[in-house]
């Protein structure tokens, strides 16, 4: 089992940057494929990015491709999401997730076993 804690959210102006972190404790994070999701008020949770156990493969939602970068440091048991060129439509609660299965780069929330509590990102226009 793994526990996930996100940090790094906040208020930023459009065009700005933030870096989210997700610290994993318990079983080592390299045992999990991991991802970032977000949920805006009144909307369903949506996929943002995913990364394989080694960090060698990544995938992104079209809406963030070229602006966001997912990475991981398995030695520190930490997942990151670098967000650049932020837009007001990026405003949401951001969640990190982990899955212990063998399939990499999962993009559906129901495919993940473990979730953090979320961190709020607000982008002002």
pLDDT tens-digit map of 50-96: 999 999 999 999 999 999 999 999 999 999 999 999 999 999 999 99
Burial grade of 87 (CB within 10 A; 0-12, 13-18, 19 or more): middle
Nearest to 72 by CA among 51, 87, 102: 51
> Apex CA 50: angle with CA 45 and CA 54, to 5°?
150
Better-predicted residue by pLDDT, 26 or 57:
57
Predicted local confidence at residue 29, as pLDDT: 59
Burial grade of 39 (CB within 10 A; 0-12, 13-18, 19 or more): middle
């Amino acid at each position: 089992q793994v526990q996930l804690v996100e940090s790094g959210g906040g208020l930023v102006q459009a065009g700005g940057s933030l870096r989210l972190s997700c610290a994993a404790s318990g079983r080592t994070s390299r045992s999990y494929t991991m991802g970032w999701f977000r949920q805006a008020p009144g909307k369903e949770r949506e996929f943002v990015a995913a990364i394989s156990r080694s960090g060698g493969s990544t995938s992104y939602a079209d809406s963030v491709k070229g602006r966001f970068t997912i990475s991981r440091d398995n030695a520190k048991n930490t997942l990151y999401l670098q967000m650049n060129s932020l837009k007001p439509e990026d405003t949401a609660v951001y969640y990190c997730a982990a899955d212990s299965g063998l399939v990499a780069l999962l993009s559906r929330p129901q495919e993940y076993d473990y979730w953090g509590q979320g961190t709020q990102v607000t982008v002002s226009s």
